[in-house]
Amino acid sequence: MRKSKLLITIFMIIILAFPMMAQANPNANENSQRNNGDNGNSNESDSRDFVNENSNYMVYVSDEEELSYDPTVPNDMQVEWEDWIAYYGNQENMQGTEFITASSVIPSVSYSAHVQDRGWLAFVSNGQTAGTTGSGLRMEAMRVSLGSAPAGSGIRYRSLVQSSGWQAWQSNGNISGTTGRSLRLEAVQIELTGAIANTHHIEYRVHVQNTGWLSWVRDGATAGSGTLRIEAIQIRLVLRPMAQIRPFPNWGENHMLPTFNRARGVAIGTLPNPPSRGTVASNPRFIDWFTGATSGQRVRSNTIVPNVTQWNLHARWTDPSRNHVRWWRPADSGETMLIVRDFEYNATWQNAMVQGINNWNRSTARVHINRFPFAGSTISVHPRNQSNPSSLGRLYPTVSGTNLTGFRIELYSDTIAAHVNRYRNLNPNNYAESAISTNITVARVVESVMTHELGHAIGLIDNPAGAPNRNDSIMNYGRRRWVRRAPSNFDIISVNIIY
The pLDDT of residue 440 is above 80? yes
pLDDT exceeding 70 applies to what percent of the chain?
Answer: 63
The pLDDT of residue 156 is above 60? yes
- Considering 29-33, 334-338, 367-371, 444-448, the range whose residues carry the highest mean pLDDT is 444-448
Angle between helices 442-458 and 489-498 (to 10 degrees): 30
Q: Give mean pLDDT, residues 272-280.
A: 54
CB crowding 143-152: b at 16 or more within 10 Å, else e: bbbbeebbee
44-69 residue pLDDT tens = 543 333 222 222 222 222 222 222 22
321-335 residue pLDDT tens = 888 877 776 655 456
Judge whether 104 and 119 are in contact, CB under 8 Å: no
185-228 residue pLDDT tens = 999 999 999 878 877 889 999 999 999 999 999 999 999 999 99
pLDDT band at 478 (very low <50, low <70, confident <90, very high): very high
Angle between helices 442-458 and 413-426 (to 10 degrees): 120
Give, for 97, the enclosing helix (H) or strand (E): strand 97-103
The pTM of this model reads 0.53
From the number of C-beta atoms within 10 Å of its C-beta (0-12, 13-18, 19+), residue 209 rates as: middle
Domain layout of the chain by residue ranges? 21-69+327-498, 72-324
Q: Measure the CA–CA gap between 219 and 112, rounded to whole angstroms.
A: 19
The CATH classification of domain 21-69+327-498, taken from the options 3.40.390.10, 3.90.79.10, 3.40.1280.10, 3.20.20.80: 3.40.390.10
Rounded to 5°, angle at Cα 51 from 49 and 55: 125
Q: Give mean pLDDT, residues 470-492.
A: 95
Mean pLDDT across the chain, nearest whole number? 74
Looking at residue 283, its pLDDT comes to 62
